[in-house]
Amino acid sequence: MRTHVRPVMLLLLIFVCVNGLVFFLGRSLIPMAPGYGLISPVPYGYKGPISKNMTCLDPAGALNVDYASDAFASGAMKQGILPLWNPYQGIGQPFLANSLFAVLYPPSWLRLILPPQWWDVVFLLNWLLAALFLYLYLDVLGVPKAASVLGGTVVLASGYFQSYLALRELPAVAAWWPLLAFAVERIVHDPSWRHRHWVLALGIYCSITGGQPESSFISLFVILVYAVVRLFHAGRKGWRVLLGFIPGSLAGLLIAAPLWVNFSEYAFTSFSFHAPDSVHGLKGRSLSALYAYIFPYLYGPPQGYPLGVLNDADWDSSPGWIPAVVVFLALCSFAAWKKKRDAGLVFLSVLAVAVGAKIWCAPGINEIGALPFFKLIVFPRYAGFLFVFALAGMAAYGIHFLAGLEAKKWRRLLVPWALLMIALLVCGIHAVRGNLETLGYTGGPAVHLFGFGVLGLFWAILGPVMLWMVKRNASGQNGAFYLVAAAGIVLQGTAYAPVGFDAVSTGLLSGICLVLYCAFAWWLSRFRVPIGLKPMVVASAAAVLPTLTIALLGPHGLPARYNPLTPAPYLDKLAALQQGGIFRSYSFDGVPQPNFASAFRLSSLSVLEAISPQGTARFIEHFLDRGASALWLAGNKTGFRSKGNPSTEVVTNLRYYSLASVRFFVARDSEPLLAPVYDTDDSRGAISPLPLRRPAEARVVCPSDRLARVDVKLDTSGRVHTGRLLLRVFGPDGAVIATREARSEGLRNHAYLGFTFPPVDGLEGKDLRLEISYVPEKRDSMIAVYRYPSKPELGFAFRMYDTAVLPGGCSLLYDDPETGVRIWDNPGAVPRIFLAPSAGVAGTWQEAMERMRETPDLARRVWLSRGPEIVSNYPLNLPTGRLLSFDLQPNEVRSKYEAHTAGILTFTESFCPGWSVTANGKETPVLLVDGVFLGIRIDKPGTYDLVYRYRPPLWSLTLAMAVLGFVLVLFGNRMTGRRPGSEEPPGVPESMNRNGASSGDDPPTFPPLKA
């Protein structure tokens, strides 16, 4: 272990340099500013820097799915509850069986002791483990330690890990792949290695529980192929190698069974994006995305599209980018094939070619994505880490090869490389010529393209040239050669790291880092500086100081360390109204955003999910919101909404929201219980403020016969203004048909102001002109409307309504002047548990759900898919029962209900296999009610003590499997044995010494595959 101390310390130093903003300025990797949590666009009370560009390629997945769910899981586990079911999110859903939540992943348990603002420590740990484990793997392959450290450095500078870091399940799964590869290679060398069982078990367990099933599958599949190939080449000791593989591998699978078995049972019976006819596996990247992989930011920053959206080059499935010098070093590794072939180099090369060809849709290879299981994987996103590891390993071999190559022989490498990079850049620019012709060759998009293209070309060419210069001027100092290579990789990695700078700052940072890299290489080579503390400090300062300086001088960058769960004032009010979860709420405008309510044990219908029970999904898409996705239900127009307005859906389907116990609607800007007949926001155009120094006008053809209200979006710059706003509506003849005045003192910034007036009829199809003006009463008072620069015909941002009366007796309950959050009451909502005295029977659960459409009172009559029908004469004017108590917890609900009649006692929670119910201590059969909820049959009036408990259907079996797995780990060595005199792993080959130099003038050779 002592031989690994210095390399590990060096990787830790590089890790700190790459994350200088985190370690030296106290910035956070949690994508919360901007972010969509309890209050958008920043957490309540946050006053720090705001990222100009995205710091994560999937901020919704990172914050709304991962972070919010981690908060719920941590809260439950601190109470001693392993969360198997989440009753606070949507209509309830399995939690542990959804592998994304990574409940059983060991590093995630750090959140039990860390405050929420420090949960990005888990991100950093995954990233660091990936680099350290790759170093170990390369080391066991016989790669010199300096080159192995450089392989780990590539991981730390990789755009894939940087851009997906906050999406914690991807780096979590990826981190353990090199450890498994290390274990395979170590066991092949020494089948009796005493740590073989627990290392294999740990790597497989963490690969499965890390949280991303697609990445887990492809990771373990590649390791399986690698192990089989190495086993085939193990020769006479093949049986011993096989016995070395089996106990640990089996133990890892068994210990992880509580996750993967229950996930499989849930996933293949539920609704998800991965439909049976899915073609996700065939989705890849275009050649334009390949150019951006080598020239970072060529077509825009993360989730930025200055040139417009490019075909098959969207950021959502991007494999990130990598420093160009890494590609150069990886290509140089092929030169080593002229000598004896090394098993590790062969494997990494084949892996890089295969994964790269699959990512960029090479014919023949891409068809792998049509095979079973593989067709569910978006390879650029979920297998991109394999390409990074393969390139990093090849770069380690390549740098060692170059260390033994005379400087005069470099020309045959540098010239073709420079020509290749120039050709790639020309092709990259040519690929977007259509976009440039549309946008113009002199505007901002063209400047971005050519600016980052030239910078990327300089990095690509000067990186290898600086290595050649060091090799020529300091030929006897291989340490300087390795240090310059690592410095170049780190400097480019920090220059393009997605830390929230704007494009100009990123370009400036890239240029500064390039100059510093060249200066550092010249300094080391010109003065033959001995490798020690001094050059290490200089290299570290060069990597850290430019980023810190730009962050300190500018307003943008990574957010300050802050708790995204800082409670906003409306949460206490909402908690009191929900009465412990008896009723749900539904949020508009991200107050709170999907999944964040569960962090506070608040029950919210809003949900952002990757998988859902079939009945729940159908109920959402067919009965609640016909324009939303069942996996992204939120009262706004973002996400996967295909059509319609969420407020219209609420008004139209209010009785189904009431059936789902949604009593409270929460909004900030929207009117959730008023359906607009016209909304300029439906255009989804960008808006900008227009001060009302003169009246603003908008023209519209009235889509409805009646007009009763107009809402106008206003900007106050966050200040109080004194004055009067006047809205006038003109008819086709120019006469004023409606007018309304409002004071400006109480206006909220970026909010809609409603102008209500007596209804005007007979307007359908007529041309109307709206005019809004402002009369300030103080000199510095001024209000602005919002206009659409790209669509000036819309005028200003407004909404029109044909009524101002809320449906179903709903009313406004709460209005928070500080945050602008308002809460409406829906008195028609049923409690979470209600008694229906009448029940009909349909043939299937789908038919039972459809029969709801013809049911007048959904709380009085429910539909079952089996069992006898219930006909009741219970008076309609009398309540059927009373909910006496209700205690909602993860996995379990305890309640007491006073039933006044017989019927179906319905619990408005998603029905899933695994629910059990006891009534007065007696287990009662669970029924599927209305195709979505669960219920029990009550035969007579009375008071019932009820316990609803959820356990995954195969929970007991999987726990037994996990116990067996631990037994295999503990007693694996005794079962397979370690014979006296068993061979130890071979030493480093004679041709490759640990100082990074070969034993002679020829290029280094590598140990051959064993026959």
Give 997's pLDDT tier (boundaries 50, 70, 90): very low
Q: Looking at domain 678-805, which of 3.30.110, 2.60.120, 1.20.5, 1.10.540 is its CATH number?
A: 2.60.120
Average pLDDT of span 687-691:
93
Residue 624's SS3 state is helix
Give dist(CA 130, CA 155) in Å, integer: 7
Q: Give the relative orientation of helices 257-267 and 196-209 as an angle to the nearest 10 degrees.
A: 30
Domain assignments of the chain as residue spans, ordered by start: 4-30+96-553, 569-675, 678-805, 833-954
Tokens of 576: 């009191």
Average pLDDT of span 203-220:
96
Give dist(CA 645, CA 672) in Å, integer: 10
Q: Does pLDDT of 1007 surpass 80?
A: no
Q: Does pLDDT of 989 surpass 50?
A: no
pLDDT of residue 338: 64
Give 407's pLDDT tier (boundaries 50, 70, 90): confident
pLDDT of residue 637: 65
Question: In this predicted model, which residue has the larger pLDDT, 712 or 279?
Answer: 712
Q: Are 625 and 653 in contact (CB under 8 A)?
A: yes
Closest by CA to 662, choosing from 679, 649, 675, is 649
- Stretch (H or E) spanning 27: none
**DSSP designation for 66:** I
Average pLDDT of span 414-438:
91
Average pLDDT of span 546-560:
94
Give 184's pLDDT tier (boundaries 50, 70, 90): very high
Average pLDDT of span 941-961:
96
Mean pLDDT (the chain, rounded)? 90
Q: Does pLDDT of 780 surpass 50?
A: yes
Give dist(CA 354, CA 904) in Å, integer: 57
pLDDT of residue 339: 59
The one-letter code for the residue type at 159 is G
- Stretch (H or E) spanning 86: strand 85-86
Which residue carries 């084949």 as its tokens?
350
Give 202's pLDDT tier (boundaries 50, 70, 90): very high
Tokens of 653: 């389907």
User: Torsion-angle region of residue 153: left (phi > 0), alpha (psi -120 to 50) or beta?
Assistant: alpha
DSSP states along 889-950: ETTEEEEEEEESS-EEEEE-S---TTEEEEETTEEE--EEETTTEEEEEE-S-EEEEEEEEE
Residues forming beta bridges with residue 772, ordered by sequence position: 696, 727
End-to-end CA distance of the chain, in Å?
31
pLDDT of residue 506: 95
pLDDT of residue 640: 67
Which residue carries 């709206």 as its tokens?
770
Give 985's pLDDT tier (boundaries 50, 70, 90): very low
Residues forming beta bridges with residue 736, ordered by sequence position: 730
Give 996's pLDDT tier (boundaries 50, 70, 90): very low
User: Torsion-angle region of residue 773: left (phi > 0), alpha (psi -120 to 50) or beta?
Assistant: beta
Residue 813's SS3 state is strand
Counts of helices then strands in the chain (DSSP H, E): 30, 31
Give dist(CA 721, CA 794) in Å, integer: 26
| Sequence-ordered strand ranges (E) for 457-510 | none
Q: Does pLDDT of 542 surpass 90?
A: yes
Q: Are 88 and 604 in contact (CB under 8 A)?
A: yes
Residues forming beta bridges with residue 836, ordered by sequence position: 904
Contacts of 273 (CB under 8 A, 6+ apart): 280, 610, 631
Give 990's pLDDT tier (boundaries 50, 70, 90): very low
| Neighbour tally for 941: CB within 10 Å | 16
Strand order of the sheet with strand 736-743?
A: 696-701, 767-776, 723-730, 736-743
Percent of the chain with pLDDT over 70: 94
Helix, strand, coil percentages, rounded to 5, for the chain: 45, 15, 40
| Neighbour tally for 556: CB within 10 Å | 17
Cis peptide before 559 (omega within 30 of 0): no
Q: Does pLDDT of 1001 surpass 70?
A: no
Distances from the Cα of 319 to the Cαs of 34, 63, 419, 421, in angstroms? 23, 20, 25, 20
Tokens of 797: 């941002």
Q: Does pLDDT of 303 surpass 60?
A: yes
Q: Does pLDDT of 116 surpass 70?
A: yes
Q: Does pLDDT of 1 surpass 80?
A: no
Q: Does pLDDT of 999 surpass 60?
A: no
**DSSP designation for 65:** I
Give dist(CA 304, CA 314) in Å, integer: 9
Tokens of 37: 């949590």
Angle at 495 between CA 491 and CA 497, to 5 degrees: 115
Give 982's pLDDT tier (boundaries 50, 70, 90): very low
pLDDT of residue 991: 34
Give 1004's pLDDT tier (boundaries 50, 70, 90): very low
Average pLDDT of span 646-658:
95
pLDDT of residue 37: 80
Q: Using one digit for the tens of pLDDT, what is the confidence trace for 427-470?
A: 999 888 888 888 887 778 888 999 999 999 999 999 999 999 99
Residue 518's SS3 state is helix
Listed ranges 97-111, 433-447, 970-984; the one with the highest mean pLDDT: 97-111
**Burial (CB count within 10 angstroms: exposed 0-12, middle 13-18, buried 19+), residue 29:** buried
Closest by CA to 193, choosing from 971, 973, 975, is 973
Residue 603's SS3 state is coil
Residues forming beta bridges with residue 714, ordered by sequence position: 751, 785
**DSSP designation for 63:** I
pTM for the full model?
A: 0.92
DSSP states along 844-862: SHHHHHHGGGG-S-TTTEE
Backbone dihedral angles phi then psi of residue 48, each to the nearest 5 degrees: -90, -165
Backbone dihedral angles phi then psi of residue 604, each to the nearest 5 degrees: -130, 135
pLDDT of residue 987: 40
Average pLDDT of span 608-622:
93
Give 884's pLDDT tier (boundaries 50, 70, 90): very high
Burial 138-154 (b: 16+ CB within 10 A, else e): bbbbbbbbbbbbbbbbb
Give 1003's pLDDT tier (boundaries 50, 70, 90): very low
Q: Does pLDDT of 514 surpass 60?
A: yes
Give 590's pLDDT tier (boundaries 50, 70, 90): confident
Give 1010's pLDDT tier (boundaries 50, 70, 90): very low
